[in-house]
Structure 1
């Protein structure tokens, strides 16, 4: 890539990367959470160190909190807006240098609705919300069930598999690809692009990771140009065809929306399924109860979402001078919200470090955010995970880990890259 892209990385990611490393050596818990391998493997000890600093404390990037009440309040407060890497207050010359190295439409920059505040966010979200109504999700149930059966039948007969590559990653990509009108043969390519681009949700990523992500997005951009042109000529019954036909979004908005739905529709669910497998295998008494009381599966998935959140953090930026919990913030101040920390706040959840599928208020977690940016596909992710996990353990009741699963080396998206398992006895039917 040209030198101007390396300069953009340095301004957006390189400078925070160096600041985080310096502060990690000084013992700052947020910097250690983001910048250490130990923090990526097991973030919760560092999150508790953040909590020990108080309800909100000033870190190397901005303010940080693991407090449930504060996090929920900020997510719902119109004095705060969404924050991306280009939200830092930079000199005008730095902004010009960033603009000189543009990236194609993607999930982490406007016009992605993830990075928009009202009224633009309202317009973009309204354009796709019909695809995620309870009725629309209900219509997808049969397809989720059939895809799950197909994948379980296709698992190797020798009894060993990588559960991420062969199952957890395949369920959500099949559904969201169909919803967007992508052909089946394109799924492996989108998995590759999504895996490459996911580090962009983190802060302080390396030049190599940023370059690979940018190159992948450029390749995806070309694919989406061709796909949208094809849908204009031959529209289908998918979401993207409807958006193209409606004509309410321009091409950049269409591509940003498509890439966001693809990424969000995949990343949360693959991590949710993988994390669910590990937690249930680590708590066999609770898995045994699910076999006896399958009506508890929805509650179990909520507890996985709370206990080992597949999306660990988000951030907001103050849109005006304001005060939160006695802390005065100037316009432009950044607040990092540890969703995973909020989900384990002892003031909200009794014995928060205990995994309990019968927890009465598990659904109060903040994994899907709150307020106007609540995850549009939350109901779909829940439905996919409930059916995938229940069907997996019904079909393979003796499932066990063959090796220690490998964590993804990401801060925001919390899940596994590999999960070698022994499938054990294959039951004859999926309940």
Structure 2
């Protein structure tokens, strides 16, 4: 039936058009800008637009580094220097928030910030990734209890039991012969099962969470093609729908999990539904993505350095150092950004409030001014922990301790069960800009 004059169109009719308009603002226009800059030879634009460059970004990183501690790029000032990156990440002169007031009012309305939780991505307010104090301080305080050193240590047995269950399935697969996709069978489900337990997610929804976690992570990337953006938009709506019902269940029957405590918060700690959605989605996306990329990257690196892997098998107490070197050498998160909150100076350049600085974390973690022979993978490297893979300062990854634990336990358990594991084909890299990891990793278990 035609819409009566003056009557609002049905939301489900407008939804695809609104989604495409949001894609245009968030991805389409930035992608067009980056394409033009890449044709002009801008190294950062080439990094963001060319999958071949992202597969091995060292040449671009060095090109940026050769232009000084703070270089110009299509994204504005960019740094590959560890010292400048650390200063930006740690200083209260910079924040994660973007000055949305610079956008025209129709664009702000279209992006739906503050309106519809069902279209909120990981990198949109009120996510902790993109809000500054005092909101960020409040959110972080509410969730940090689940990630204290004591809480992480207490989770070790649970992570090991989860790893052993997944390895039992791999054992059965090994008996049947043939290659196994280690990402699908182990690296991805391990962190999802751990974070699902933290969020009190029923076991029969874990496959859904694998799908939703990948979709949430993809929203971090600039320049997504429209089909992928729309698929992510649908997945995020499914996730938000699940969370809405999940929160209601926990209000009726709370447990001792993190989400139950967030749902039950009262007075000044009480969260709006939108804030609850944002925190739960961030814990899923960040808790899943960092670890799955860490595990996949580690197996690829160790397979190429068999002597180091065999040394770790003989001395498993060295696994924590090995995990730090993987994080440094092949950082799961490759790029981030900060916005100047005040007029300030950085690396000899004057910045105005609202100026955006891009930080190439992967390049900073291979800065020869900090790390000797930085392109060499060495699990005995004494200063590997100086990396910035988990960021630094107020926005240091709240789940870094849990990610490290999952990396150590997951890799040690895998090595003990399958000491002869070998990569059996070419690893397929994920076609993402912000995150660096392996999409598919065929391995032979014996």
TM-score by length of 2: 0.92
Q: Residue in 2 aligned with 1:30?
A: 44
- 1:142 maps to which of 150, 157, 170: 157
Q: Residue in 2 aligned with 1:158?
A: 176
Q: Residue in 1 aligned with 2:277?
A: 255
Q: Is the 8 A contact 1:180 1:258 kept in 2?
A: yes
Give the RMSD, CA atoms, in angstroms.
1.5
Q: Is the 8 A contact 1:16 1:61 kept in 2?
A: no
Q: Is the 8 A contact 2:335 2:434 kept in 1?
A: yes
Q: Name the CA distance, whole Å, in 2 between partners of 1:373 and 1:95.
A: 25
Q: Residue in 2 aligned with 1:17?
A: 31
Q: Residue in 1 aligned with 2:106?
A: 93
Matched, 1:58 2:80: no
Q: Residue in 1 aligned with 2:223?
A: 204
Q: Secondary structure at the match of 2:443?
A: strand
Moved more, 384-393 or 103-112: 103-112
Q: Secondary structure at the match of 2:176?
A: coil
1:321 CA drift (Å): 2.3
1:397 CA drift (Å): 1.1
Q: Name the CA distance, whole Å, in 1 between partners of 2:404 and 2:58.
A: 23
Q: Residue in 2 aligned with 1:404?
A: 426
Moved more, 264-273 or 204-213: 204-213
Moved more, 11-20 or 261-270: 11-20
- 2:234 maps to which of 201, 215, 218: 215
Q: Is the 8 A contact 1:165 1:418 kept in 2?
A: yes
- 1:345 maps to which of 361, 367, 374: 367
Q: Residue in 2 aligned with 1:428?
A: none
Structure 1 residues 315 and 96, CA gap change in structure 2 (3 angstroms): same
Q: Is the 8 A contact 2:117 2:274 kept in 1?
A: no
Q: Residue in 2 aligned with 1:79?
A: 93
Q: Is the 8 A contact 1:83 1:315 kept in 2?
A: no
Q: Name the CA distance, whole Å, in 2 between partners of 1:381 and 1:13.
A: 29
Q: Deviations over 1:53-87 (max 9, x none)?
A: 21111111221111000000001111111046x85
Q: Name the CA distance, whole Å, in 2 between partners of 1:255 and 1:94.
A: 23
Q: Name the CA distance, whole Å, in 1 between partners of 2:427 and 2:79.
A: 29
- 1:228 maps to which of 214, 230, 247: 247
Q: Is the 8 A contact 2:294 2:407 kept in 1?
A: yes
For structure 2, which runs of at least 5 residues remain unmatched after alignment?
1-14
Q: Name the CA distance, whole Å, in 1 between partners of 2:297 and 2:100.
A: 31
1:43 CA drift (Å): 2.1
Q: Residue in 1 aligned with 2:56?
A: 42
1:88 CA drift (Å): 8.3
1:103 CA drift (Å): 5.5
| Alignment of structure 1 residues 208-357 onto 2, 5 Å | 208-247=227-266, 248-357=270-379
Structure 1 residues 88 and 278, CA gap change in structure 2 (3 angstroms): farther
Q: Is the 8 A contact 1:88 1:332 kept in 2?
A: no
Q: Is the 8 A contact 1:271 1:414 kept in 2?
A: yes
1:361 CA drift (Å): 0.6
Q: Is the 8 A contact 1:198 1:213 kept in 2?
A: no
Moved more, 138-147 or 286-295: 286-295
Q: Is the 8 A contact 1:89 1:332 kept in 2?
A: no
- 1:120 maps to which of 116, 129, 135: 135
Q: Name the CA distance, whole Å, in 2 between partners of 1:45 and 1:193.
A: 34
Q: Secondary structure at the match of 2:102?
A: coil
Q: Deviations over 1:292-346 (max 9, x none)?
A: 2222111000000000001111101111222211112222111110111110000
Q: Name the CA distance, whole Å, in 2 between partners of 1:342 and 1:362.
A: 12
Q: Secondary structure at the match of 1:421?
A: strand
Q: Name the CA distance, whole Å, in 1 between partners of 2:381 and 2:216.
A: 35
Q: Name the CA distance, whole Å, in 2 between partners of 1:72 and 1:88.
A: 28
Moved more, 204-213 or 279-288: 204-213
Q: Name the CA distance, whole Å, in 1 between partners of 2:295 and 2:162.
A: 15
